[in-house]
Amino acid sequence: MTRVLIVGDERKGGTAQVIGAFERWLRGQVDEVEVVLDRAASLANSRADLLCVFGGDGSILAAARRMGAHQVPTVGINLGRLGFLTACGPEQAEQVTRAALDGALHEEQRAMLECSVERAGGEVSDAVLALNDGVLNRTSSAGIVSLVARRGDQELATYAGDGLIVATPTGSTAYSLAAGGPVLAPDLDAVVLTPLASHSLALRPLVVPFSDRVGEGLELLVQEAGREGVCPFVIDGQVSMQVSVGDRVCVRPTPVKFRHLTLGSDSFFRLFRRKFGWADLPRER
């Protein structure tokens, strides 16, 4: 028995209509179809064999987080702008989904992070999964953010400026790239630490190997956070945790992997060239 879950955001105009037409086609292809249009609804208890996400990259990030520990092979249908994580547009949705059901798509195991905040008093917040990144940054009215980054028992650096991005290979092509960070191939077991408006010329983006070994996560100890003494830690641009001076942001590797379906094993580099114009020679118009 084949079950497919369709996810979209009903608040975005036209999404419900596109999904409605796709659902009618899909019901003739598989045994069970479930549609979830509430972007806040949990997907952790889904028994689906395939997840079809209609939306942009943000919709895929949200779906990955909402699935929690039970990750389902996921294909993205782009209804947004860039759509770097999506496999196709709505006009190819049926063809690509049929290929997914036939096992003809390539599955990438994308690393995810488990993020939490350990308060100065010892309390620990609930952990939140991140597929892209966690960003510790100053508020608009605050001065600089100062923090110490540690990996296990090693101190990596002290950062002072607007903040710090901790990005997965998936997130290395997002905010981190815009801030001057390097691109990491999606199968790397590493994260990149990219400073935001650093007050030191000696600080540059740092790629740190990651593994599932205990104690090898990152800790960001906040030492200064402007006049208010508090700053946000934002996960995938969607979930925000308030962090005070003396708190520690904990970013741990997790065995949970996002199961990303693509059109081929080389699709990351083809997409990167096409979407960003990467490694392309200038041409006369």
Beta strands in 187-229 (DSSP E): 190-196, 206-209, 218-225
Joined together, the tokens standing for residue 178 give 């815009």
Q: How far apart are CA 78 and CA 86, in angstroms?
A: 6
The verdict on whether 57 is a catalytic residue reads yes
- Other Cβ atoms less than 10 A from the Cβ of 94: the count is 16
- Of the residues 57, 162, 236, 247, only one is catalytic, namely 57
Q: Under DSSP, is residue 58 helix (H, G, I), strand (E, B) or coil?
A: helix
- Distance from the Cα of residue 63 to its chain's centroid: 10
Q: How far apart are CA 32 and CA 48, in angstroms?
A: 9
Q: How far apart are CA 276 and CA 163, in angstroms?
A: 25
- Other Cβ atoms less than 10 A from the Cβ of 46: the count is 19
93-101 vs 15-26: helix crossing angle, rounded to 10:
40
Query: Which residues form the catalytic set?
Result: 57
